[in-house]
Structure 1
Amino acid sequence: MGIPQLLQHLEKIEKPKSKVYPKASSSGDDLHRPAAVIDGSALAHHIFNRYLKSLSKEERILSILGFEYAVYQRNVINWLERLEVGFEITNIFIDGHLPSYKTTTRISRIQTTITSLSRLRTLSPSLIDLTKGNWNPSPPFLIAAFSAAVRGHERFGKVIRTVAGEADAFCAAAAAATEKRVKGGGEGISVVFTGDSDLVVYPHSKYSRVAILDDVHFENTPIEGAKVKVVLWPPWDIERKLRGNSTGRGNEGMIMKFAWCLAVKDTFRAARVVSSGKGDGLGSVKVGGEFREQYLLPDVGKVGDSSGLEGILDSRAAEVVYASPRFRRLCHPPVRDSGRETEIYLPVLLEDVTKSSVWSVGREIRKLAYQMLFGTNATVVEVHRKGEAVNKSFLKLQRDDEELLLGGEVGEGLNGLVVGIILEIVRGYLDKNLQTTDADVLALLAAATTSTLGHKESLPPVTAVHWTWPRAHLLSQLMAGVWSLYLLQTVASLPNNGGIEISENIDKSIFEKLTALPSLLETIDTTRFVTIYAISHDRRGMSKNAKKRARKRAKAWEGQDTLGLSADGLQGIINRMFEREVRGSIEGILKIVGEMMRREDEDEEEEEEEEGVESYMGMTVG
């Protein structure tokens, strides 16, 4: 959302008040903490953006490309615990569904992201340099990381919910309900913490306030201890001022009418309201239907009542579920059945815009999830990047001779479904006559294994020079495939999911394997992925100078067991990156990959090197 200059104009009508909490009660024998209702989706991005601002431009490259979700999750809990000093956190809501009238806005945002990605690709054609282009992509699993961190907390895990709508509407409803549970006035208020200024447009009670996240500051002094300083907007008071001498309830939508004038650029009427401080000229304003619908409150009694669906971590997965005929009845505002195909919006990952969309990986897995949700005769439209523009892929959910690519039996530490994704990626390159190397496959396996990486501090540091576009694209393909598995896992575990017809050609054991699938965040380890490239030195496709540097580096590494390298070359990497129990499985997978690639004999490979033939995955070591 967003209404141009809304708060700047409203400030001239009623200034917000700066408050510090906790504060002593009137009796002085305890500390008072107002209730806090938090827009979790907004807070997730707020904490990420604050983290980025603390880094130099150079530090952002590694921090974003190799984003450490565990560090981010600690920051999330730390922020909530600091807020808890001054407020009682009663609700944290996560977006779970966006209404259809957001379509134009969403496609515009996707195109903006693609344009930024394309510009970055042009400005840094080899190594990814985020200091160019002035664009910092958000980590793909940010909301999932936020939700997982909060759900795992003893106190906060009890108040977080993924709702069947936009979080801000549910926040406003929860805050407005304060009137029913607070006796008397004073400081018995409920504060909505959000990044959206137009949350003041929703109907509010006289006990609710709105705080913008950028205006929240944590203080700690030797005398008073920890405090929370906030700037509170009072929608009820603003509404009363705009209403003037007219009678009736305080929530007759005068703020909404004023916001509508700003949205449609009725500058003359808006300026008159601001100058007079009254809403006399707003009485005849007719607010558009879709605009009004955005600010309707969900039934307070149904807030959080999502039939067990509030446990879905990722907003996009929740949106797929709530779009289905079985669960759309829960959505706010109500979903109108237009009879059109269902559109699924897939995020733009850190992809190479000169290559095919990474979302071609895992498509059959997603189709199975769609089939379970929408039925076998439905059509789903996936919206994703194609080249440098937004594209739509129409998926028919009937399954005839199609087969789901599954991984074979593997050892401890690797899930067969994830191995299937890796093999699908490799097969995709083969189909396009492009080669992957052992290092590429090892990097994918390193990212996907659940084994514990030992002696991490002994591995060489990963630098920005290890992040090339081919490697970033490869990792994003893995992310797309793993997210597809997570979506299928989510759908398969929905309540009352029995009775859904699954095509006979689908191996039912996939559902057993889904139960053993690691969590979305545990399945992909970015650091281990790129570390393979930091310590391997595959010489195929390298320039002559790069080969000389690699030979010198290899000679310098001889006998250095601290790096996990030995005379066995990549076997040393296996010893370092994986536990012994899974080593045999990895070697078996490499053998499968070798057979799939149908490599030519040593003489032909030598000839290709002399001719300077370079694969797309070119393993040039920086």
Structure 2
Amino acid sequence: MGIPQLLQHLEKIEKPKSKVYPSTSSSGDAPSRPAAVIDGSALAHYIFNRYIKSLSKDERIPGVLGFDYTSYQRNVINWLERLEFGFEITNIFVDGHLPSYKTTTRISRIQTTISSLSRLRTLSPSLIDLTKGNWNPSPPFLIAAFSAAVRKHERFGRVLKTVPGEADAFCAAAAVRGGVDCGERLSVVFTGDSDLVVYPHSRRSRVAILDDVHFESTPDEGAKVKVALWSPWNIERKLGGREAGAEGGVNEAVTIMKFAWCLVVKDTLRSAKVVSSGKGDCLGSVNVSAEFKREYLLPDVGKVVDGGGGGLVEILDSRAAEVVFTSPRFRALCHPPDGGDGKEVEVYLPVLLEDVTKSSVWSVGKGIRKLAYRILFGTEATVVEVHRKGESVNRSYLKLHSNDEDNDDGSMLGVKELGEGLEELVVGVILEIVKGYLDKNLQITDIDVLALLAAVTSSPPDQKETLPPVTSLQWTWPRAHILSQLMAGVWSLYLLQTVTNLQPTTDIKLPDTIDTTILSKLTTLPPLLPTTIDTTRFITIYAISQDRRGMSKTAKKRARKRAKTSEGQDTAGLGVDGLQGIVNKVFGKDVGGGVAGVLGIVEVMRRGEEDEESEGGEEEVESYMGMTVG
């Protein structure tokens, strides 16, 4: 969120206090550790942004596009463990729902992302070059990876909650509760949002900005945490705001809110007077809008986290939570209360690394998502999916009632007779992608399918992977687009899996129109979404199958012939050159499955193409799907 220049102005009124923890009193008492309340969503992006800054220009493209979720998760736990030397982590909250008054802001952010994507596409029309667009897209499953890493941790997993609102409001409420209930111990909110100081606070609650947290270590004193702490209580007192009675009471921060409002509406005269005088005398007549006040109401953390939402907040991923908490069954848990009758519901789909000249990647998995929506919202509701279309934000209206002419019935969920070791539903997503290209008479090659299979295939434990290094030369727009289609389809499966997992603990009922045998297959999906798709394995297939000059005339001719032959056929019935044939090859007895099997097939195909090229002509510069990469 953030309010322009808020902390810079407040610093002239009350500077933050620099502290080092753990601290030992002069009497030699045991080290004191304040309570730490962490905005998990802010921390997830903070650690990612630090990672980006550490990359060189050459590392940035493969580092961002081939993002290593496993390494990122290690960094998350490492940061929390280092903080734990100086603080006791009592709460980690993750955004699980954004209120309706954030709609304009959300649409604006989506449009900004699309515009950045479009500019990048224009500046680097063939190979993706993030250095030209000066834009580093966030990995699509960043919060999911953060939450999964924390949940697996013995200590931190117990305090992580995905809340039905914005995390910062719950952080402020938990810090206030801790600052009132814990005597002389401080309760500190760790966040990236400056406007945490605008919320009500207790005398013993503080705010720490993540950029101001530094880890130190000396041979004599060991590990320490140095941090700058803001005291909203003291700032409010200096501005002349009222205090709420008792020593441990809550200060409503009315004057700070009025000052923040002046910055938002650009009342520079009044805000300058406050800064120069250090007092809020001139703020008495300021009328803050009701909507702005509403943003800083404190939720009842105990009621939501420990009460009706206890089970949900401990299992939901941030993106899935947004959908779940919008449903009629769980809307009452939201903070602030979410109005509406539930008949028309907006679902915001992230902008992935898509080619803006092509259709939205979210056409993949639409039937799967509709199954999830029917379970959550019933068959009478309409879901409005907000996603990219062209270079603008688009709204797609999905009717959830049963219709004989509606072919979005989940029929793509799975392929028969798959080899052992690969989840049937994920292959069903790949099949849907292949069918989408063939239906539009667009080219898709065996290499594309093998790359998708490699992305979702893990090697057996006894097989060692030796993958060649990934470079920026492999990242073309068609490849990024098809990988994002896979991500959209797998996330759709994950949403459906999340919704069906709610059944045992809630009164959610399945509509009669849903085939329950499909839902039983969801148990094969791994619980952690980021491990389902391995970007490095995906791009490696292209790295070993063709050089940067692209495909040969022979290879392109063969691919066009396959597409023409397959046109009009039922994709599930393709022969050995189609998806089922490739899957059978990957898991044949002589291959043994896993990434090694995929790589082995690619090597055989490449040798065959090289033999034909030696007989039949030189290579062209134009690459697959018409993109120039050389």
What TM-score does the superposition give when structure 1 sets the normalisation length?
0.87
How far residue 341 of structure 1 moved from its aligned partner, in angstroms, is 2.0
How far residue 537 of structure 1 moved from its aligned partner, in angstroms, is 3.8
How far residue 25 of structure 1 moved from its aligned partner, in angstroms, is 3.3
Distance 1:585 1:396, change over 3 A: farther
Cα deviation per residue 1:579-602 (whole Å; 9 max; x = unaligned)? 615799989x99xxxxxxxxxxxx
Aligned residues of 1:35 and 1:88 also touching (Cα < 8 A): yes
CA distance in 2 between counterparts of 1:478 and 1:126 reads: 21
Alignment partner of 1:44 is 2:36: no
Distance 1:31 1:573, change over 3 A: farther
CA distance in 2 between counterparts of 1:107 and 1:123 reads: 24
From 488, 502, 525, give the equivalent of 1:494: 502
Written as runs of structure 1 = structure 2, the 5 A alignment for 1:179-578 is 179-183=179-183, 185=184, 188-243=185-240, 250-305=251-306, 306-337=309-340, 341-401=344-404, 402=407, 403-404=409-410, 405-409=412-416, 410-452=418-460, 458-495=466-503, 496-498=505-507, 500-504=509-513, 506-519=514-527, 520-537=529-546, 542=551, 574=586
Secondary structure (helix, strand or coil) at the match of 1:209 reads strand
How far residue 511 of structure 1 moved from its aligned partner, in angstroms, is 1.3
Distance 1:579 1:160, change over 3 A: farther
From 551, 569, 580, give the equivalent of 2:592: 580
How far residue 314 of structure 1 moved from its aligned partner, in angstroms, is 2.8
Aligned residues of 1:147 and 1:313 also touching (Cα < 8 A): no
CA distance in 2 between counterparts of 1:583 and 1:62 reads: 20
Q: Report the equivalent of 1:136.
A: 136
Secondary structure (helix, strand or coil) at the match of 1:23 reads coil
Distance 1:396 1:572, change over 3 A: closer
Cα deviation per residue 1:276-303 (whole Å; 9 max; x = unaligned)? 1111112222211110010000013225
Aligned residues of 1:434 and 1:615 also touching (Cα < 8 A): no
CA distance in 2 between counterparts of 1:406 and 1:419 reads: 8
CA distance in 1 between counterparts of 2:324 and 2:7 reads: 35
Structure 1 vs Structure 2 CA RMSD? 3.2
CA distance in 2 between counterparts of 1:50 and 1:522 reads: 22
Cα deviation per residue 1:122-166 (whole Å; 9 max; x = unaligned)? 111111111111000000000000000000001111110000100
Q: Report the equivalent of 1:597.
A: none
493-502 or 105-114, larger mean C-alpha shift: 493-502
Aligned residues of 1:538 and 1:619 also touching (Cα < 8 A): no
CA distance in 1 between counterparts of 2:522 and 2:243 reads: 61
CA distance in 1 between counterparts of 2:545 and 2:621 reads: 20
Q: Report the equivalent of 1:61.
A: 61
Secondary structure (helix, strand or coil) at the match of 2:12 reads helix
Distance 1:323 1:90, change over 3 A: same
Alignment partner of 1:4 is 2:4: yes
Distance 1:245 1:400, change over 3 A: closer
How far residue 229 of structure 1 moved from its aligned partner, in angstroms, is 0.5
Secondary structure (helix, strand or coil) at the match of 2:431 reads helix
* Structure 1 gap ranges (5+): 548-569, 591-604
How far residue 417 of structure 1 moved from its aligned partner, in angstroms, is 0.9
Q: Report the equivalent of 1:93.
A: 93
Cα deviation per residue 1:167-194 (whole Å; 9 max; x = unaligned)? 00000000001233222x3xx1000000
Secondary structure (helix, strand or coil) at the match of 2:217 reads strand
CA distance in 1 between counterparts of 2:121 and 2:130 reads: 10
CA distance in 2 between counterparts of 1:310 and 1:21 reads: 30
Q: Report the equivalent of 2:71.
A: 71
448-457 or 516-525, larger mean C-alpha shift: 448-457
Q: Report the equivalent of 1:155.
A: 155
Cα deviation per residue 1:401-445 (whole Å; 9 max; x = unaligned)? 333112123232211111110000000000110121111111111
Distance 1:411 1:76, change over 3 A: same
How far residue 577 of structure 1 moved from its aligned partner, in angstroms, is 14
Q: Report the equivalent of 1:594.
A: none
Distance 1:66 1:573, change over 3 A: farther
Cα deviation per residue 1:187-217 (whole Å; 9 max; x = unaligned)? x100000000000000000000000000000
CA distance in 2 between counterparts of 1:263 and 1:212 reads: 20
Letter in 2 for 1:432: K
* Structure 2 gap ranges (5+): 557-581, 603-612
How far residue 522 of structure 1 moved from its aligned partner, in angstroms, is 2.0
CA distance in 2 between counterparts of 1:534 and 1:12 reads: 55
What TM-score does the superposition give when structure 2 sets the normalisation length?
0.86
Letter in 2 for 1:260: W
Alignment partner of 1:34 is 2:37: no
Q: Report the equivalent of 1:114.
A: 114
Letter in 2 for 1:406: L
Secondary structure (helix, strand or coil) at the match of 1:324 reads coil
Written as runs of structure 1 = structure 2, the 5 A alignment for 1:580-599 is 580=592
CA distance in 2 between counterparts of 1:160 and 1:345 reads: 23
How far residue 501 of structure 1 moved from its aligned partner, in angstroms, is 3.6
Percent identity over the alignment is 73
Aligned residues of 1:471 and 1:617 also touching (Cα < 8 A): no
CA distance in 1 between counterparts of 2:332 and 2:360 reads: 33
Cα deviation per residue 1:92-134 (whole Å; 9 max; x = unaligned)? 0000000011111111111111111111111111111111110
Distance 1:92 1:577, change over 3 A: farther
CA distance in 1 between counterparts of 2:617 and 2:389 reads: 33
22-31 or 246-255, larger mean C-alpha shift: 246-255
Letter in 1 for 2:212: D
Letter in 2 for 1:443: A
Distance 1:613 1:31, change over 3 A: closer
Q: Report the equivalent of 1:20.
A: 20
CA distance in 2 between counterparts of 1:247 and 1:33 reads: 27
How far residue 316 of structure 1 moved from its aligned partner, in angstroms, is 1.6
How far residue 237 of structure 1 moved from its aligned partner, in angstroms, is 0.4
CA distance in 2 between counterparts of 1:452 and 1:540 reads: 34
CA distance in 2 between counterparts of 1:585 and 1:416 reads: 18
Distance 1:107 1:340, change over 3 A: farther
Letter in 2 for 1:322: F
How far residue 545 of structure 1 moved from its aligned partner, in angstroms, is 12
How far residue 453 of structure 1 moved from its aligned partner, in angstroms, is 7.7
